Structure 1
């Protein structure tokens, strides 16, 4: 599985604003809900539950909130570059400015682990993060996904 199989061009956002970690989770859950035709709470609740187990702020200004969701038949991603970094209780205590929300089907354990590992590996690459931060707009942000930036 590759990131471009998970993230559609319309699911890349630049300039998202949030005042706190919870406001950020609410914002990305709301956007994902609109795209998936679900109630925002149906996404926010499992994402917040997972976040309660430990921060998904993986370091270097990146967060990878994720959860399993009933009714999904394939992984869904939403990538946001924030206008201003937000404290996310990340492992390195740095605020987060890149967020990749990953929603996974309830079944398909191997595929889910593959999707999570794929996105995490991609986001941890310093060149990828730098390219995402340099993207002028959502199209340029998504172009990084396919290595076209």
Structure 2
């Protein structure tokens, strides 16, 4: 599975003015609603319900919030790069500025896990993270994220 399989170019956001995790989740849910046709409130509830189980902040300024949604047709991703890091209760207690939301259909265990694994591998690449933090346009961020697999291998 490649990121281009689950991430559409219009699902890449450069976010300004986001101050809280809840504001971020609202923006991610709104974008995902436009892509999936599912109500934003339903998507927001799925994200927040999962987050209540434990923070999806991995450390190094990166988070992968995720959730499962009944009626979703396939795994869907939304990427956000924040202009200012926000508190996220991450494992390393550092604020987060790189976020990849994953939504999967209820009952999609293998596809959901494959997507989580792929995103985690890509976002572990420190060179890519530095690049993403410096890019200004959503189109450039999308191109960097969906570059060939070899470009994402950790150094």
How does the TM-score come out when normalised to structure 1? 0.94
Q: CA contact under 8 A between 1:17 and 1:24: conserved in structure 2? A: no
Q: Does 1:64 align with 2:96?
A: no
Whole-angstrom distance in 2 between the partners of 1:11 and 1:53: 25
Aligned residue in 1 for 2:26: 26
**Larger deviation, residues 7-16 vs 80-89:** 7-16
Q: Does 1:50 align with 2:50?
A: yes
Q: CA contact under 8 A between 2:38 and 2:72: conserved in structure 1? A: no
User: Shift of the alpha carbon at 1:35?
Assistant: 2.1
Gaps of 5+ in 1: none
Q: CA contact under 8 A between 2:59 and 2:92: conserved in structure 1? A: yes
**Larger deviation, residues 73-82 vs 31-40:** 31-40
Whole-angstrom distance in 2 between the partners of 1:132 and 1:57: 17
Gaps of 5+ in 2: none
- Greater relative contact order (CA < 8 Å, ≥ 6 in sequence): 1
Matched pairs, number:
149
Over aligned residue pairs, what C-alpha RMSD do you find?
Answer: 1.5
Describe the SS at the equivalent of 1:9: strand
